[in-house]
Amino acid sequence: MAWGQRHDIVWGLGYGYTHDNIGGSLTVFFIPPNKSLQNFNSFLQDEIALIPNRLYLTVGTKLEHNAYSGFGLMPNIRMTWSPSERHMFWAAVSRALRMPSRNDTDLNVNVAGFSGSGGTPNLVRVSGDSQFENERLIAYESGYRNTIAKRLSIDIAAYYNDYDDLQTTEPGTPFIEVTPLPVHLVLPELKENLMYGETHGIELTANWKLTERWTLSPGYALEQLHLHTEPSSSDITTGPFFQGGTPRSSAQLRSHFDLYQGIAWDASAYFVDRLTNQGTTNNQVIPAYTRLDTGLTWKPLEKFSISVFGQNLLENYHVEFEDKFGSMQSSQIPRSGYAKVIWRF
């Protein structure tokens, strides 16, 4: 709703309800296996025209309540300044929270077993913690857009993210478990919030309309991730794992070409830098990869279109990520294709 000539206010309320019943195994299981959860949220934002068409200040916040960590407040403030039609500067400071999930509080994974003293079987188990807290972020961002010419614009954005209360895995108190047989000693590793860190990076994008029919959109991103554990933490694997799981640089080039009579050809190439330290035992390196997608879209009517696309066309498959417990199957992305029909009414 508009308030006077300078305020544009947006607000909303939300409610979510979920119920699950998760069947487990001897390796992976949830305690309890079923749970019902509720989530409440609201948000309020005001965009203020300090100088109409030139300088805008936006302030707002989101308030969320969940069953695990209670209330969480996520405010943000941002400003945009357009000294002329060709130039725009912006900056923002935001606070975000990752609320706990069932994985953080109730998941149990038996990751290793061995014979202990006296031949007693020992079982290493990673378990959730009902006291797990919100993971917190304060993000500082700034950017600049320049419409160099009628057909060419560039965007530059820089950011610094400050993280706190990130998840670690800490040793718990061993205990005896009698089922399933044989009787065994469980060595628990519990999820706690004893890591903090920061990321900083820069992103460059452009939009270049070479002709009336052909548009190119290149982009590049560079990021550095640094994670640290609290003095009370015994976790020496989670920080290096996630630092090694973030590509330092990535690039893309997207092309859109209008052929004739409602037929368009789209092609996209993506480069992602290698990931290091991705194995729990062998410091697995995930190689850099280049991905190519392309396809045709036919739009015979204004509200109707048909598309056929191919994805990952350069190789049979490539690996993008390995989870912390060493299961790589889900991250082998194959060559694929799809067809899509869109009808708007």
What pLDDT digit, counting tens, does each position of 284-320 carry?
A: 788 899 999 999 999 999 999 999 999 999 999 988 8
Task: Report pTM.
Answer: 0.85
23 contacts: CB under 8 Å, gap ≥ 6: 33
Burial class from Cβ neighbours inside 10 Å (0-12, 13-18, 19+) for residue 44 reads: middle
Return the SS3 of 57.
strand
Q: Read off the pLDDT of residues 173-225 as tens digits, 9 standing for 90 and up.
A: 999 999 888 999 999 999 999 999 999 999 999 999 999 999 999 999 999 99
140: Cβ–Cβ under 8 A, 6 or more apart, which residues? 92, 93, 159, 160, 161, 162
Range 45-67 average pLDDT: 96
Alpha-carbon distances, residue 225 vs 153, 161, 288 (angstroms): 29, 9, 18
Q: Which helix (H) or strand (E) holds 240?
A: helix 238-244
Q: Residue 225, Cβ neighbours under 10 Å: how many?
A: 19
What tens digit of pLDDT does each residue of 250-278 get? 999 999 999 988 999 999 999 999 988 66
Closest to 106 in 3D by CA, of 122, 127, 89: 127
